[in-house]
Amino acid sequence: MNSNSILTMDRLINFLIQLNESPIEAFKKCQFVGKSSQQLSGIIIDNISYFTHDNNENGIQNASKAYNNLLKILKLLRKNFGCWIMTISYGMEYYDGVENSTSHLIK
Protein backbone atom coordinates (compact mmCIF):
# COMPACT_ATOMS: atom_id res chain seq x y z
CA MET A 1 0.00 0.00 0.00
CA ASN A 2 1.30 3.40 -0.89
CA SER A 3 -1.19 5.97 0.30
CA ASN A 4 -1.48 9.34 2.00
CA SER A 5 -3.75 7.65 4.52
CA ILE A 6 -0.75 6.08 6.31
CA LEU A 7 1.66 9.01 6.39
CA THR A 8 1.52 9.40 10.16
CA MET A 9 2.33 6.85 12.83
CA ASP A 10 -1.24 6.94 14.21
CA ARG A 11 -2.74 6.33 10.79
CA LEU A 12 -0.30 3.52 10.08
CA ILE A 13 -1.18 1.82 13.37
CA ASN A 14 -4.91 2.29 12.69
CA PHE A 15 -4.53 0.71 9.25
CA LEU A 16 -2.66 -2.26 10.71
CA ILE A 17 -5.34 -2.68 13.39
CA GLN A 18 -7.97 -2.69 10.64
CA LEU A 19 -5.86 -5.19 8.69
CA ASN A 20 -5.93 -7.49 11.71
CA GLU A 21 -9.64 -7.08 12.43
CA SER A 22 -11.06 -6.83 8.92
CA PRO A 23 -8.50 -7.74 6.23
CA ILE A 24 -10.94 -7.46 3.32
CA GLU A 25 -11.87 -3.88 4.27
CA ALA A 26 -8.23 -2.93 4.78
CA PHE A 27 -7.20 -4.41 1.43
CA LYS A 28 -9.86 -2.31 -0.32
CA LYS A 29 -7.56 0.66 0.40
CA CYS A 30 -4.60 -1.06 -1.25
CA GLN A 31 -3.37 -1.48 -4.78
CA PHE A 32 -2.37 -5.05 -5.31
CA VAL A 33 -2.28 -7.69 -7.98
CA GLY A 34 -3.85 -10.94 -7.00
CA LYS A 35 -6.91 -12.31 -5.35
CA SER A 36 -8.18 -11.29 -1.94
CA SER A 37 -8.48 -14.98 -1.12
CA GLN A 38 -4.69 -15.30 -1.04
CA GLN A 39 -2.93 -15.42 2.31
CA LEU A 40 -1.08 -12.36 3.60
CA SER A 41 2.54 -13.46 3.31
CA GLY A 42 4.42 -10.38 4.46
CA ILE A 43 4.46 -6.73 5.44
CA ILE A 44 7.21 -4.25 4.55
CA ILE A 45 7.34 -0.83 6.20
CA ASP A 46 9.97 1.32 4.54
CA ASN A 47 11.70 4.25 6.26
CA ILE A 48 9.90 3.67 9.55
CA SER A 49 12.32 5.95 11.42
CA TYR A 50 10.97 8.96 9.52
CA PHE A 51 7.65 8.81 11.38
CA THR A 52 9.33 9.85 14.63
CA HIS A 53 11.65 12.32 12.95
CA ASP A 54 8.76 13.93 11.10
CA ASN A 55 6.73 14.36 14.28
CA ASN A 56 9.49 15.55 16.58
CA GLU A 57 7.19 18.00 18.37
CA ASN A 58 5.47 15.01 19.99
CA GLY A 59 8.59 14.30 22.01
CA ILE A 60 10.55 11.16 22.75
CA GLN A 61 7.95 9.65 25.12
CA ASN A 62 5.17 9.80 22.54
CA ALA A 63 7.47 8.38 19.87
CA SER A 64 8.47 5.55 22.17
CA LYS A 65 4.81 4.82 22.97
CA ALA A 66 3.94 4.85 19.27
CA TYR A 67 6.73 2.39 18.45
CA ASN A 68 5.60 0.13 21.32
CA ASN A 69 2.04 0.19 19.94
CA LEU A 70 3.34 -0.53 16.45
CA LEU A 71 5.39 -3.46 17.73
CA LYS A 72 2.34 -4.90 19.51
CA ILE A 73 0.13 -4.77 16.42
CA LEU A 74 2.89 -6.18 14.20
CA LYS A 75 3.34 -9.11 16.61
CA LEU A 76 -0.42 -9.64 16.61
CA LEU A 77 -0.51 -9.66 12.79
CA ARG A 78 2.36 -12.14 12.70
CA LYS A 79 0.59 -14.37 15.23
CA ASN A 80 -2.81 -14.23 13.49
CA PHE A 81 -1.68 -14.45 9.86
CA GLY A 82 1.71 -16.15 10.12
CA CYS A 83 3.22 -13.43 7.94
CA TRP A 84 6.77 -12.11 7.95
CA ILE A 85 7.45 -8.46 8.76
CA MET A 86 10.32 -6.31 7.57
CA THR A 87 10.92 -2.72 8.61
CA ILE A 88 13.63 -0.51 7.19
CA SER A 89 15.05 2.55 8.93
CA TYR A 90 17.77 5.09 8.38
CA GLY A 91 19.93 6.17 11.29
CA MET A 92 19.36 9.60 12.81
CA GLU A 93 22.68 10.71 11.35
CA TYR A 94 20.93 10.53 7.96
CA TYR A 95 18.26 12.98 9.04
CA ASP A 96 20.68 15.26 10.86
CA GLY A 97 23.09 15.19 7.93
CA VAL A 98 21.69 14.68 4.46
CA GLU A 99 18.22 16.06 5.10
CA ASN A 100 19.41 19.09 7.05
CA SER A 101 21.89 19.95 4.33
CA THR A 102 19.16 19.98 1.68
CA SER A 103 16.20 21.25 3.71
CA HIS A 104 16.89 24.86 2.73
CA LEU A 105 16.20 23.92 -0.90
CA ILE A 106 12.58 23.02 -0.14
CA LYS A 107 10.53 25.96 1.08
pTM, two decimals, is 0.68
pLDDT at 33 exceeding the cut of 60: no
Q: Over the range 42-76, which residues count as b (16 or more CB within 10 Å of their CB) and which as e?
A: ebebeebbbbbbeeeeeeeeebeebbebbeebbee
pLDDT in tens, 36-64: 677 788 888 887 776 655 555 555 567 77
Q: Domain of residue 89: give its range.
A: 4-93
Residue 65 located in a structural domain: yes
pLDDT at site 36: 62
Number of domains in the chain: 1
Residue 53 located in a structural domain: yes
